[in-house]
Amino acid sequence: MTYKIGLLRGDGIGPEIVDSAVRVLEAIATKYNHKFEFTPYLIGGAALDACGVPLPEETVKGCLASDSVLLGAVGGPKWDTLPGNMRPEKALLGIRAAMELFTNLRPAKLYPALKGDCPLREDIVANGFDIMIVRELTGGIYFGERGTREGKYGEEAYDTESYSRMEIERIAKVAFETARKRNKKLTSIDKANVLDTSRLWRKIVHEMAAEYPDVECLDMLVDNAAMQLVRNPAQFDVIVTSNMFGDILSDEASQITGSIGMLPSASLGNTTRGLYEPIHGSAPDIAGMNKANPIATILSAAMMLLYSFNLVEESEAIVGAVDRVLNAGYRTADIAHGGEALGTKEMTDKIIEML
Ligand code: NAD
């Protein structure tokens, strides 16, 4: 079968790490007899330089015509002084909106081989952790009515949050289904002791829990969740939460893994087409130097195989190869602690060798 993959290389280390993921996908295609057809499109600073806008119409059309899309990263000092709507990062919101991606999946996994990178005490992470955060991406306070006005105490600003039953049901469904495929434990995080949106969120999650008797479903208040993530991260399997809480908690969860160059993400909508990207930025400080860790992008490609193409064995093959490379002691500079480090290309070669 042929899969059409749109490539958004972007800026900084984006082109290097996307090319690494493409090489791994090509190795998978050979091994499992698939055909991946790659088409590059411009985004971010590269698009600004070539056509004066961060997200050209052709890029949007190309992504919508692809079976799935792999993104590197956008941005860099060259474009930092541009006005807000011309910034490379603006293209990220634009492409997510155009592809109608309402779910963000962010795994935070501590690799046994990289325990030393975790900033938490050794006894806390003795057994590692493997969390999947399911964040609502297109609703809530980031998209609500906002403004500034004259209030009781003079100038004031406000932001509003609303969530509809439809929005909560569709994200909760993704979360329950995800938990079903993992360790069958779902923690729904809200602020139901204060917020009406959270009370509706909790009510709907409880209603839906009845349809998933095989999944253990718990509620947790967001302030407690922020503490529990550093107190005992291994208690979590799948977390589902709103846009803003997910934004904050997923960054906290990624930090406690200690290695930003290792973490992939997926953004999904109602179709199987998704947008897959590493959680890190364009790392302009190491761009073009063959120093970037390609693993986050390679694991993003593995997520694409699983969530967009349902190629379970192929996806697991990539994850397994990454595990074996790390267990064998190979490191890129960001996780080498001054020890011997492989370049981006050489790390990619090792992963392909281990497939
Ligand atoms: P960053 O993630 O690019 O870099 C932070 C630090 O981590 C840097 O020291 C960098 O060298 C290192 N790093 C990041 N990824 C790495 C990798 N794969 N391997 C090795 N080291 C890695 O964040 P920043 O410096 O705050 O932002 C740089 C640019 O990226 C800015 O223009 C920012 O707006 C943009 N950005 C883009 C995205 C995105 O495209 N999704 C996300 C965050 C930041």
Residue 64, pLDDT score: 98
CA 295 to ligand 1 center in whole angstroms? 14
Is any ligand 1 atom within 6 A of the Cβ of residue 89?
yes
Is any ligand 1 atom within 6 A of the Cβ of residue 220?
no
The question of whether 247 is a catalytic residue gets the answer: yes
Q: Same CATH topology for 1-103+260-355 and 119-256?
A: yes
The question of whether 31 is a catalytic residue gets the answer: no
Report pLDDT digits (tens) over 133-143.
Answer: 999 999 999 98
Is any ligand 1 atom within 6 A of the Cβ of residue 314?
no
Phi-psi region of 83 (alpha: psi -120 to 50; beta: other; left: phi over 0): beta
- pTM (two decimals): 0.93
Residue by residue, pLDDT tens for the chain (355 residues) are 899 999 999 999 999 999 999 999 999 999 999 999 999 999 999 999 999 999 999 999 999 999 999 999 999 999 999 988 899 998 998 999 899 999 999 999 998 888 888 999 999 998 899 999 999 999 999 989 999 999 999 999 999 999 999 999 999 999 999 999 899 999 999 999 999 999 999 999 999 999 999 999 999 999 999 999 999 999 999 999 999 999 999 999 999 998 889 999 999 999 999 999 999 999 999 999 999 999 999 999 999 999 999 999 999 999 999 999 999 999 999 999 899 999 999 999 999 999 9
Question: In whole angstroms, how far apart are CA 57 and each of 40, 76, 85, 175?
Answer: 14, 22, 15, 32
Phi-psi region of 295 (alpha: psi -120 to 50; beta: other; left: phi over 0): alpha
CATH tag for 119-256 (out of 3.20.20.370, 3.40.50.12780, 3.30.70.260, 3.40.718.10): 3.40.718.10
Atom number in ligand 1 closest to CA 277: 41
* Topology adopted by domain 1-103+260-355: Isopropylmalate Dehydrogenase (3.40.718)
Residue 84, pLDDT score: 81
Phi-psi region of 10 (alpha: psi -120 to 50; beta: other; left: phi over 0): left
Atom number in ligand 1 closest to CA 76: 32
Residue 56, pLDDT score: 98
Residue 25, pLDDT score: 98
DSSP 8-state secondary structure symbol assigned to residue 91? H
Is any ligand 1 atom within 6 A of the Cβ of residue 95?
no
Report pLDDT digits (tens) over 60-95.
Answer: 999 999 999 999 999 999 999 998 889 999 899 899
Question: What's the burial of 16, exposed, middle or buried (CB within 10 Å: 0-12/13-18/19+)?
Answer: buried
Beta bridge partners of 276: 70, 266
The question of whether 237 is a catalytic residue gets the answer: no
Task: Please answer whether residues 202 and 245 qualify as being in contact, where contact means their C-beta atoms are separated by less than 8 angstroms.
Answer: no
Non-local CB neighbours of 225 within 8 Å, separated by 6+ positions: 187, 189, 239, 241, 245, 249
